């Protein structure tokens, strides 16, 4: 009996009319790669991360104000095992600290969706790897990237060796760092990239 009541409550709570206005849903559909049904499904997942904090009604500007902490967001299966989870959340968060509003959460899933075009994925991948935010991937960024990928199991010498190989391969203008154009040139030739840079909802 209790289960039936909670299912009905869920249906009311996540029905199209209750959470967002039709204008909001139209706008979300226009600026993401999702259908309205996908958007409501993602809202349901966002809500489930902290029902005490996320309102059942996201009309008005609540979707851009109410934020979940990185510690709450990182629990989703798609991020839990990702060595770049904190960096991904930082890049998509309005505050730069990894706390995500629903708008940020939706943007993140949209960029990682299978429908997102390669140039958009490349742009965000570059930002994720550009730890110091200087618009280049220098030795320090590459070191953090390698240590994240290998869960810090390599020696300093091994990391240094890999950095040298990457720069040798990708640094076309010999300035000891990788620009976005150089990154795009190398990564767009990798068929694996598009497969690894996506999340199914």
| Judgement on whether residues 25 and 108 belong to the same structural domain of the protein | yes
- The pLDDT assigned to 1 comes to 40
Residue 54 is given by DSSP the state S
| Judgement on whether residues 126 and 169 belong to the same structural domain of the protein | yes
Tens digit of each residue's pLDDT (9 = 90 or more) over 23-65: 999 999 999 999 999 999 999 999 999 999 999 999 999 999 9
49: left (phi over 0), alpha (psi -120 to 50) or beta: alpha
Tens digit of each residue's pLDDT (9 = 90 or more) over 175-193: 999 999 999 999 888 878 7
| Judgement on whether residues 125 and 79 belong to the same structural domain of the protein | no
3-state secondary structure of 149: helix
Please name which of 173, 148, 147, 169 lies closest in space to residue 158, comparing C-alpha atoms.
147
What CATH number does the domain containing 100 carry? 1.10.238.10
Residue numbers of the domain that contains 49 = 21-112
Q: Where are the beta strands (DSSP E) in 45-184?
A: 67-68, 100-101
Confidence band of 169 (pLDDT split at 50, 70, 90): very high
The model's pTM is 0.87
| Judgement on whether residues 66 and 31 belong to the same structural domain of the protein | yes
Average pLDDT, the chain: 90
Tens digit of each residue's pLDDT (9 = 90 or more) over 78-92: 999 999 999 999 999
Boundary residue ending a domain (66, 96, 112): 112
Please name which of 114, 115, 111, 147 lies closest in space to residue 127, comparing C-alpha atoms.
111
How far apart are the two ends of the chain, measured CA to CA in Å?
30
Cα–Cα distance for residue pair 46/39, rounded to 1 Å: 10
55: left (phi over 0), alpha (psi -120 to 50) or beta: beta
- The pLDDT assigned to 192 comes to 80
| Judgement on whether residues 137 and 90 belong to the same structural domain of the protein | no
| Judgement on whether residues 106 and 122 belong to the same structural domain of the protein | no
Tens digit of each residue's pLDDT (9 = 90 or more) over 189-201: 887 877 778 777 7
Q: Which two tokens stand for residue 150?
A: 């290998």
């Amino acid at each position: 009996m209790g289960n039936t009541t909670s299912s009905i409550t869920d249906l009311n709570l996540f029905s199209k009319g209750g959470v967002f206005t039709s204008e909001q849903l139209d706008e979300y559909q226009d600026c993401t790669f999702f259908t309205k049904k996908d958007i409501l499904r993602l809202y349901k997942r966002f809500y489930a991360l902290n029902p005490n904090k996320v309102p059942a009604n996201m009309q008005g500007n609540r979707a851009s104000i109410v934020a979940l902490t990185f510690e709450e967001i990182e629990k989703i299966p798609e991020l839990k095992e990702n060595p770049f989870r904190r960096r991904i959340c930082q890049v998509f968060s309005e505050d730069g600290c990894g706390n995500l509003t629903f708008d940020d959460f939706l943007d993140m899933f949209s960029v990682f969706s299978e429908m997102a075009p390669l140039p958009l994925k490349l742009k965000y991948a570059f930002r994720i790897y550009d730890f110091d935010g200087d618009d280049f991937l220098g030795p320090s960024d590459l070191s953090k990237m390698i240590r994240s990928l290998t869960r810090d199991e390599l020696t300093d010498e091994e990391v240094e060796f890999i950095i040298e190989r990457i720069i040798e391969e990708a640094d076309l203008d010999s300035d000891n760092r990788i620009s976005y154009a150089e990154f795009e040139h190398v990564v767009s030739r990798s068929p694996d990239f598009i497969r690894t840079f996506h999340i199914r909802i």
